[in-house]
Structure 1
Amino acid sequence: MFKILSKFTRKSLSEPDDALLSLFGAVPTVSGVTVTAASALRVPAVASAVRLISEAVADLDVLVKRVGTDGAETEEKSHPLLGILRGEANDWTDGFTFIRDLMIDALTRDEGGLAYVNRVNGRVVEVIRYAPGAISVDYDPLTLEPTYRLQGAPIPSQNVVHLRSPFGRAPLSLAREAIALATVLERHGSKLFGNGARPSGLLKFPKGMGEEAVKRAREGWRQTHENGDTGRTAILYDDADFVPLTFNSVDAQYLELRTFQIVEIARAFRVPPSMIYELSRATWSNAEQMNLEFLTYCLDPWIKAMEGALRRALFMADERAKYAIRFDRDDLTRADLATRSMAINSLIASRVLNPNEGREWLGLDPYEGGDEYANPNTGSSQPNEASPIKSDEGEDGTE
């Protein structure tokens, strides 16, 4: 019996294994760097990608729409939830900050973005994003149905906003190795230049020098050229020669590696490298296409996941068939004013839109008679009701 028990090892915080480290979000990497959510965000490329996605989603206008029996959606401009999603999620958090931080949690933490919906008599009064770890989630091993606890106390799943990441792992977690390598490269560069590990040049003395002479020459050179007073003329003696050091091919590969890690991190978060300011391959012609790909392949899936998470938690089961939460994507696809004007004019001329619908795209109020579908360029208007034709003749035909 003793031999069987001796095969088991006890785990403690003094000697944590990988499983215990992962529990606290600190998983060691091959490079030896431990990557956590906090340390990863100190890598500029990671912080830029997380801010790009989270702020882009939070910046969109949130809409509450009523879903008809035919599937058509109409906007509910006075729904009570708009005060929470657009105004204040709670007494200390505005709607923009709430959605942004929920998105950040989903991008950086494997458990996803979690928030508690506080209801009073069935009515949503506030939504609270607690500190990471306050709300825990467990899954049924067979059905994967989640159960939630708030500081250890069970809470109904109906009252939890849960924004999940693909694969059940956050993009930051899946990119730990790439982030660790970027950290190693940055540390190497900091030590190389910050501590003067790489000298700017060499002093060569063909005749050789004694220990005391070397100390005097070194002290004199430092006083003249390394005290912050640059631009002085170098004076050499005893046939000394100064040989400057320049970057070689290995140094160039170091710079290429740093650039590649930025692209690798951008790939992990599915954002175009140009949008996190890696502009080596960006041109005016492909920047617009990359912005469109960012919306289609990166942002839109997150937006749909956010819409579904908010709809499930903010509406009761009998309300979900009647209401939906939508993010207005027009701001993301909005072109410059000249391009938008040409597109709206073309749609009105082809009778796809009426003038009032075009004005709504521009944020303008409708005007009377603007609901008519007509081509203003040809004057081929077909009024709904025929207007009486006035003439100078009387009813009997006499003038």
Structure 2
Amino acid sequence: MRIAFEFARGAETRSAAIENPTVPVSAENFLSFFGIQSGNLTAVTIDSALTVPAVSAAVTFLSSSLANLPLHAYRAAKNSGERVGGSLQRILNEAPNDEWSSFGWRKYFWTQVFTGGRGVSWIERAGNTVLGIWPMDPASTVISMVNGRRIYTFSGAKQYPASDVIDVPFLLKRDQLSSYSPIVMGAKAIQLAIAMNDYGSNFFAGGGVPPLSLSGPLPQGKEAMGRAMADINRAIDAAKQSEKPIFPMPPGHELKQVGFDPAKGQMVEARLFQIQEIARVYNIPPVFLQDLSRGTFANVEQQDLHLIKHLIAQWAKAFEDELNLKLFGAANNRRYVEHSLDGLMRGDFLGRMQALAMGVQNGLLMPDEGRALDNRPADPTGNGARLYMQGAMAPLGTNTYGKDAANGGPNDGQD
């Protein structure tokens, strides 16, 4: 192959060569042979990112876990909070409107937070009464500042003040209006995971045969070269179909591998590392993305604690504060909403029963309170509305025979 360059009056001319002059011999064109365009990975979108199992696992796990937490309304009492019922409790924990369940609304809300970077919902009111909560598509919502106040414009028409919109960003930007998306922040890691998925699927779709180059005496001319390549391709296809590892080659010719062997390129190790990288984006322990490569009994339990203390609890707090501010106003000091993180124990029956038993035996919970957490009826004898201590399990303020000390008993004053 011969290429000559002449520069005259700023123009470049090329002499005739065997290659097609319209196809440049460049790194980009060479990489395109392996399915990589321009040496750059494809842009990441929410839809393409969710095709990566680690990303979809992180999004569905976090959104479902947060939506699964019981969410109750309370009224501040003298020394504690009193749970209240009514329409607000129904809106928060059962159905925010006549089209959505509470779980469905909150899962959609958190899915938007962990994909596009923001969850928004509109509060429908009649005066000071909350009638319902409606999810909004963040992609159709424009947030702007008007006279120092945030305004939410939905679908280019409806405008809502910030006081009527529940808004939780993944990470707020400096302008206090836009937010960072976890998928954009982890785009490079997600790009690499997509590229490895594509390479692996293409490799095995081709029967595990990597790109090959044919060396040896080759025919001259475009048509003759095309026929030779077609013959080789037919020979490879025939070997695949016959399930025989050997096929004949013309004398003096040799097939050589072009590209990397997935094993030598540490494909398995690299894909495992991408799971850990995506876990870092969401601050989620890798074990919850089904990565148990370095899991032990001790550290898996610690990762479970990390999930509650440093991830679920933080997002639950962000949602609670936003609800309290938007539902009741900044001046409110009597009503509030709160998640019950005990809901995460519902799947661990043994652990839940042991925790309730410890609470009752140590005077932290009344039996009726423990039963109510499992939606069980109260003790019909009325003894469940008292505190007990471990030991004889006698109600506080009674002697060992179960009679009130104040009213007298067989051992009154001795116990």
Coarse TM-score class (shorter-chain normalised): 0.7 to 0.9
How far has the Cα of 1:140 moved from its partner? 7.6
> What runs of 5+ residues in structure 1 fail to find an aligned partner?
1-29, 391-399
Secondary structure at the counterpart of residue 287 of structure 1: helix
Alignment partner, residue 159 of structure 1:
164
Report the CA distance between 1:286 and its aligned residue.
2.3
Change (3 A) 1:148 1:370: same
Q: Are residues 140 and 109 of structure 1, via their aligned partners in 2, closer, same or farther at CA, if it must alter by over 3 Å?
A: farther
CA distance in 2, matches of 1:218, 1:157: 64
> Aligned residue for 1:360?
372
Q: Residue 314 of structure 2 aligns with which residue? A: 301
Cα distance change on mapping 1:293 and 1:377 into 2, 3 Å: same
Distance 1:58 1:99 in 2: 5
| Distance (whole Å) between structure 2 residues aligned to residue 337 and residue 99 of structure 1 | 25
Question: 1:74 corresponds to which residue?
Answer: 82
The equivalent of 2:209 in structure 1 is 198
Matched, 1:97 2:104: yes
String of CA shifts for 1:108-154, please: whole Å, max 9, x gaps.
224x211111222332222222333332212589x7x5332232553
Q: 1:243 to 1:237 in 2, by over 3 A?
A: closer
Q: Which has the higher contact order (CA 8 A, sep 6+)?
A: 1
1:100-179 matches, cutoff 5 A: 100-110=107-117, 112-139=118-145, 146-150=150-154, 151-168=156-173, 169-179=180-190
* Distance (Å, rounded) in 2 between the aligned partners of 1:34 and 1:248: 26
Match of 1:226 among 216, 236, 240: 240
Deviation per CA, 1:165-224: give whole Å up to 9, x if none. Answer: 23432322221222122222222223333245734999999xx9999999778746644x
CA–CA distance in structure 2, aligned partners of residues 176 and 165 of structure 1? 15
Q: Which residue of 2 aligns with 1:393?
A: none
The residue aligned with 1:35 is 44
1-structure distance, mates of 2:235, 2:199? 30
- Return the alpha-carbon distance in structure 2 between the equivalents of residues 32 and 176 of structure 1: 10
CA-CA distance at 1:378 after TM superposition: 2.8
- After TM superposition, give the deviation of residue 80 of structure 1 in Å: 0.8
* Structure 2 counterpart SS, 1:279: coil
Do 1:106 and 1:163's aligned partners in 2 also have CA atoms closer than 8 Å?
A: yes
Distance 1:235 1:100, change over 3 A: closer
Task: Provide TM-score, normalisation by structure 2.
Answer: 0.71
Q: 1:217 to 1:355 in 2, by over 3 A?
A: closer
Inter-CA distance 356–128: structure 2 relative to 1 (3 Å threshold):
closer
Give the equivalent residue in structure 2 for 1:52. Answer: 61
Report how many residues are paired. 350
2:388 alignment partner in structure 1: 374
* Matches for 1:205-216 after TM superposition, within 5 Å: none
Tell me if the contact between 2:235 and 2:247 (Cα under 8 Å) persists in the aligned partners: no
CA contact (8 A) 2:203 2:210 kept: no
Match of 1:180 in 2: 191
Distance in 2, matches of 1:269 and 1:260, equals 15
- Are residues 386 and 273 of structure 1, via their aligned partners in 2, closer, same or farther at CA, if it must alter by over 3 Å? same
Hey, what's the Cα distance between the residues in 1 that align with 2:137 and 2:78?
40
**Residue aligning to 2:25:** none
| 249, 261, 267: which one aligns with 1:254 | 267
Any idea what the Cα deviations from partners look like across 1:60-107, whole Å, max 9, x if unmatched?
11101112365x21111x221222223332333222111111111122
3-state SS in 2 of match to 1:116: strand
- Note closer, same or farther for the CA distance 1:69–1:36 as it changes in structure 2 (3 Å cut): farther
Which residue identity lines up with residue 68 of structure 1 in the other structure?
A
Match of 2:12 in 1: none
Runs of at least 5 residues in structure 2 that lack an aligned partner in the other structure: 1-38, 174-179, 399-403, 411-415
Compute the RMSD of aligned alpha carbons.
3.8
**1:354 & 1:88 partners in 2: Cα distance?**
30
Q: Deviations over 1:270-290 (max 9, x none)?
A: 111111112211233322221
Larger mean Cα displacement after TM superposition, 253-262 or 344-353: 344-353
